[in-house]
Amino acid sequence: MYKACIISTGTELMLGSTIDSNSLFLSQKLSALGLRVIARYTVGDNREQIRSAFKNGLEDADLVIASGGLGPTRDDLTKEAACEVAGCGMELVEEEVVRLKEFFARRKRDMPKENLKQAMFPPEAIILRNSIGTAPGMYLKKNAKVLVLLPGPPREMEAMYLNEAEPLFKQDFALDEQLTAGRTIKVIGPGESQVDEMLLDVVNNPRGCSLALLARDGEVHIKVTAEGENTQHSQQILEAITRRVEAVMGKYVFGYDEDTLAGVVGKLLSGSGKTLALAESCTGGLLAEMITEIPGSSGYFWGSVTSYSNESKVKLLGVKPETLDRYGAVSRQTAGEMARGILERSGADFSLAITGIAGPDGETRDKPVGLVYIAEADKKDRVIIKEMHFTGAREAIRNLAARTALDLLRREL
């Protein structure tokens, strides 16, 4: 199996305010091709650091692929550093000078002389076309190693990778087997630490397998990665560990990989020919948004009222003013009337209603931030109302409320 090393350069990446999305993109693409990514280096615009990344990469990997630092400024050092490490001289490529001049001419500008360095390349390199910006990339094969330089802006990098670089890899590497296999098992209900505890015995006995937990908006995603001798073996390990996780997590498992909770609920609704309407208060449209994110949701989703004021609860949902006066907008009673109100007005088979205090303001003595009532009503006049106490920031509370409502309906269906 071929080994790859990914390098990203750029001082702005070192501050942690930007996700290094280039590394992620390249990791995915190279793994999908069947290369094993052994390391990613992210370094600032510093010649020493960049050189040492290339040096390590070329020592350990068959393919070193870097993005960033191909621009015209003094901070753009990647090509110089890479060629130095690879032991290649550079010369001006006349064809590239012409291309650069045209790029600027089309934009009615003179080419700054700094840009000339973007036309310098080692004679043995293949120059990769940039369909968007000024910086060409390069592909260099030397001593059975491949060195690839791509521009930093993600759009330019992705286009150049897909159109120019990947076809060359496919020629130069005999790519066949994938030695790793992965799957995400998605769980709702227990928190991350509960899942962690439940899986303790599975985690401690992994046999060619690693498990990672990721808590996301009230869901816990269990990422399983298996590594075997060949494609089939990896798949076997993956299936075995998946069965073990499922056995432990039971009904909390709602889906896999790209599945979303709203998508799973949508499939259940359309499979049974049922329709849904919503009344949202504290989630403010979030639940409707999750549901309508799914293509085809218009087949089972009637619509929703986001009643963010008492007035809209009365006018659009028929909540009784007395109920609001007596119990407040955040109450078991209001939640129930919201669910019944939208069910009647819509004629849908099911309705969900959510009212609560998402914070940070709006807390009262009896009603703390995080108190949420979730109601589900159906045509048999059944109303289920759950009182929940969520913790976290506004966004987390809204997310937990919306997902808990979806999960309530999922279990019903």
Q: Which of residues 124-143 bind a second copy (CB under 8 A)?
A: 132-133
Nearest distance in Å: CB 344, a second copy: 11
State the minimum distance, in angstroms, from the CB of residue 239 to a second copy.
18
Nearest to 309 by CA among 360, 269, 355: 355
Instruction: Based on the shown chain and the rule CB under 8 A, indicate whether residue 311 belongs to the binding site for a second copy.
Output: yes
Q: Cβ 158 to a second copy, closest distance in Å?
A: 12
Q: Does 395 bind a second copy (CB under 8 A)?
A: yes
**Main-chain phi, psi angles of 23, to 5 degrees:** -60, -40
Subset of 27-46 contacting a second copy (CB under 8 A): 27-31, 36-46
Query: How many whole angstroms separate alpha carbon 62 and alpha carbon 67?
Result: 17
DSSP letters spanning 53-90:
HHHHHHHH-SEEEEES--SSSTT--HHHHHHHHHT---
* Least Cβ distance, residue 284 to a second copy (angstroms): 3
Interface with a second copy (CB under 8 A), residue from 67, 130, 242, 307: 307
What is the per-residue burial (b if ≥16 Cβ within 10 Å, else e) of 141-173?
Answer: eeeeebbbbbbbbeebbbbbbeebbeeebeeeb
Nearest to 182 by CA among 141, 237, 135, 103: 237
Total of chain residues touching a second copy, rule CB under 8 A: 113
Residues 271-300 that bind a second copy (CB under 8 A): 277-278, 280, 282-289, 291-293, 295-298
Contact pick of 122, 136, 151, 153 for a second copy (by CB under 8 A):
153
Ordered strands of the 253-256 beta sheet: 209-216, 219-227, 180-188, 253-256
For a second copy, which residue of 54, 301, 373, 390 counts as binding (CB under 8 A)?
301
DSSP secondary structure letters along 155-167: HHHHHHIIIIIHH
Nearest residue to 370 via CA among 282, 261, 288, 280: 282
Pick the closer one to a second copy by CB: 43 or 188: 43
CA-to-CA distance for 385 and 408, rounded, in angstroms? 10
| Main-chain dihedrals φ then ψ at residue 318, nearest 5 degrees | 75, 25
**Which run of H or of E encompasses 270?**
helix 261-272
Select 91 or 311, whichever has its Cβ closest to a second copy.
311
Q: How far is the CB of 164 from a second copy (least distance, A)?
A: 19
Q: Which of residues 331-390 bind a second copy (CB under 8 A)?
A: 345-347, 359-362
70-99 binders of a second copy (CB under 8 A):
71-73, 75
Q: Note whether 119 and 92 are within 8 A (CB).
A: yes
Separation between Cα atoms, residue 129 and residue 131, nearest integer Å: 6
Among 78, 304, 334, 351, binds a second copy (CB under 8 A): 304
Residue 150 forms beta bridges with which residues?
A: 67
Q: Which of 18, 230, 272, 364 binds a second copy (CB under 8 A)?
A: 18
For the beta carbon of residue 353, count every other beta carbon within 10 angstroms: 35
Residues 236-265: x where in contact with a second copy by CB under 8 A, - otherwise, as a string: ------------------------------
Two structure tokens written together for 252: 């909390």
CB of 98 to a second copy, least distance (A): 19
Q: Which of residues 154-173 bind a second copy (CB under 8 A)?
A: 154-155
In the shown chain, the binding pattern of residues 95 to 114 toward a second copy, with x for contact by CB under 8 A and - for none, equals: ------------x-x--x-x
Structure tokens of 346? Answer: 């819509």
Q: Please provide the distance, in angstroms rounded to a whole number, between the alpha carbons at the two ends of the chain.
A: 46
Is residue 410 involved in binding a second copy (CB under 8 A)?
Answer: no
Least distance to a second copy from the beta carbon of 89, Å? 26
Nearest distance in Å: CB 123, a second copy: 28
Stretch that binds a second copy, among 15-23, 120-128, 162-170, 229-237 (CB under 8 A): 15-23
Site for a second copy (CB under 8 A): which residue of 91, 98, 193, 240?
A: 193
Of the candidate residues 67, 78, 130, 180, the single one contacting a second copy (CB under 8 A): 180
Q: Identify which of residues 125 and 353 has a Cβ nearer to a second copy in the complex.
A: 353
Least distance from a second copy to the Cβ atom of residue 184, Å:
8
